[in-house]
Amino acid sequence: MTGERFWPHDEQLLRSVMDWSWRRITDGQNPQARARPSAELDAALGDTVVPDGIGGHEALRLFTQVVVPATRAQDNPMNLAFVPAAPTEAALVFDLAVSAAEMFAGTWEAGAGAIAAENQALAWLASLAGWPASAGGCFVSGATMGNLSALVASRERARTRLDGAAPPRWRFAATGDAHSSVRAAATVMDCEVLAVPGDERGRMTGTALAEVLATLGPDPVAEGLFAVVVSSGTTNAGVVDDIAGVAEVCRANGLWLHVDGAYGAAAMVAPSVAPLFAGMEHADSFVVDPHKWLFAPYDCCALVYREPEHGAAAHSQFANYLEGVDRTVWNPADFAVHLTRRARGLPFWFSLATYGTDRYRDAVETVLATTRAVADEIRSRPHLRLVMEPDLSVVLFERVGWEPADYEAWSDYHARAGNVLCVPTRWEDRSMLRFCFINPTTDVDEVASVLDGLADAPPG
Ligand SMILES: Cc1ncc(COP(=O)(O)O)c(C=O)c1O
C-alpha cells in the first residue's frame, strides 16, 4: 500500500493551505494578534486530537481563526520589542519549498546539495568576519544552541591541550550583559562563568579581561578557563564589546574567543559600523541568527568555527549504525549538538542568492539610518531622554517622570491598539523603553508620532 493511498488525498485542502500561506507572505499579519490565556485557547480549539481526526478543513479553520490571531506578528514593521523578525518574501516562500523537499541535512551523503548551498551562505558570513575559506560550521535552530555548541567545542580543545589533567572547575569568561543563553550554556555544561566587569556601556574590554586574568595563575587554561565570550551586540542595549582588545588578550593566553553575534553580527555587512567589528578576524567561533537581522524566517542560526575540526572533535557522533557515514566529507551533524537536521539555512541562502549581498548591505544600513534618525527624534523631545548613543539598532530611552507602572500601561495599551509593540526594559536599575530595529521598512515618521504620543499622560 503506498503512502498516497494510505493517507487520503485532499486536493482542496492542500490548495487552501497554500492559498493561506500565499496571502500571509504577501499581506503580512494583523499587528493586534496577541496571546490569550491558555484556558480560553483550549476552549476555542476544543478537542482536536481525537481518534477520527477533526478533518483538515476544520483544523485549518481553527488555525486561521484561533491559532494565528493569538500569535504575535513578529515581522510587523512596528514590532520593535525584544529582537523582532523581518524575513524577505523570497526567504518565506522558500521555507515552503524546503519543507516540500523533505531534506535530511545532517550528513553529506543524504543532503549534499542542500549542504553545498548552505555552506555558500556560511562562507559569506565567514568572509565578513575576515576568516579564511577553511572556516565553516552549520546552521542550528538558534543562538542558544549555537553558543552552547561553540562553548562545548572550546572546552574540548582545552581538554585536549591539558592532555587529561583535570582542572578544579571548568569555566568561561563573560560579562553580566552577555545573553541569558550564555549563562544557560554554563548550566548545561555544569561549569562556571568567570565575571568580567563591563565598562560604563556594559562592554567587555581587553583591559578588564586582563585584570581578571591577573587574578589567576600564569596559565588560565590550566585553571579551567577554556573560553571568553564577547557580544557583538548585547541584546538589551545593542552594544558591541571591545572585540579587538579582548582578542589580543585571548591570543596572549591561549584562550578560545567566541563571539555571540546572534543579533548584531549581521551589521558586519554595513560599512558604517564595520569598525566596531575589528578583531572578529581573530575569534575562534561566532554565531549570528539570520532569523533576526538577516531577513530569514525562524529558526536559523549560523554557527561558524575558524577551525571546524574543533567542532567535529566535540560533536561527531559514532555508533554501529553510523559506521556508513563518510567522515571525509562535510557533515553538518558534526558541528553542533544535533544529528538530524532540517536544511534550515536554505531559506537564508535563497534570499541571499535572490537579492544579492549588496541589497543585504543596503537593508542593514537602512535599519541603522532609521535607528540614528529615531535617536535624533528622541533627543529633540524634552519629554524624552536618550540613555545612550546606539552602536547598532537598539535605542534605550526614558520618558521623563515616568514610573515602571506607567511604562507597562503605555506598552500594553499600544500592543492592544496594534500601532507599536515596545516592551519596557531596565538599564542600571531604571525602567525605560527599548526599541530594537530590524526591519528596513519601519517608517521613521510613524515612530516619531509614537514618540509624540509619549508626551501625554500614561493610558489610565
Ligand atoms: C545576543 C544574543 N545571544 C543569544 C540569543 C539567543 O538566540 P536564540 O533565541 O536564537 O536562541 C539572543 C536572542 O535574542 C541574543 O540577542
What residue segments make up the domains of the chain, in order of their start?
A: 94-355, 357-453
In 3D space, the residue among 302, 299, 323, 303 whose CA is nearest the CA of residue 312 turns out to be 303
Sort strands 171-174 and 192-195 into parallel, antiparallel or unpaired.
Answer: parallel
2 pLDDT higher than 60: no
- The type of residue at 216 is L
Closest to 437 in 3D by CA, of 267, 258, 221, 297: 267
CA 375, CA 43: separation in Å to the nearest integer?
44
The Cα 307–Cα 259 span in angstroms is 14
Q: Mean pLDDT score of the chain, rounded to an integer?
A: 97
* Ligand 1 lined by 181 (C-beta under 6 Å): yes
**pLDDT tier for residue 166 given thresholds of 50, 70 and 90:** confident
How remote is the CA of residue 142 from the centroid of ligand 1, in Å?
7
The amino acid present at 390, given as its one-letter code, is: P
Over residues 302-348, the pLDDT tens digits come to: 999 999 999 999 999 999 999 999 999 999 999 999 999 999 999 99
Residue 11, pLDDT > 90, answer yes
Q: What is the pLDDT of residues 19-45, one digit of tens each?
A: 999 999 999 888 989 999 999 999 999
Q: Is the pLDDT of residue 144 over 60?
A: yes
- Is residue 289 lining ligand 1, measured as CB closer than 6 Å? yes
Structure confidence at residue 5 as a pLDDT band (50, 70, 90): confident
Candidates 3.40.47.10, 3.90.1150.10, 2.70.98.30, 3.40.640.10; CATH matching 357-453: 3.90.1150.10
pLDDT value of residue 3: 54
Give the distance (Å) from ligand 1 centre to CA of residue 296.
Answer: 15
pLDDT of residue 164: 81
* Class of domain 94-355 (CATH, top level): alpha beta
Candidate from 204, 263, 301 with most ligand 1 atoms within 8 A of CB, to mutate: 263
Give pTM, 2 decimals. Answer: 0.97
Selection from 167, 170, 166, 165 nearest residue 191 by Cα: 170
Q: How far away, in angstroms, is 292 Cα from ligand 1 center?
A: 9
pLDDT beyond 80 at 64: yes
**Residue 301, ligand 1, Cβ within 6 A:** yes
Percentage of the chain modeled with pLDDT above 70: 99
Query: How many other β-carbons are positioned within 10 Å of the β-carbon of residue 455?
Result: 12
Phi-psi region of 442 (alpha: psi -120 to 50; beta: other; left: phi over 0): beta
How far is the centre of ligand 1, averaged over its atoms, from the C-alpha of 174 (Å)? 15
Asked whether this chain's domains 94-355 and 357-453 adopt the same fold, the reply is no
Q: What is the mean pLDDT of residues 89-95?
A: 98
Q: What is the pLDDT of residue 17?
A: 98
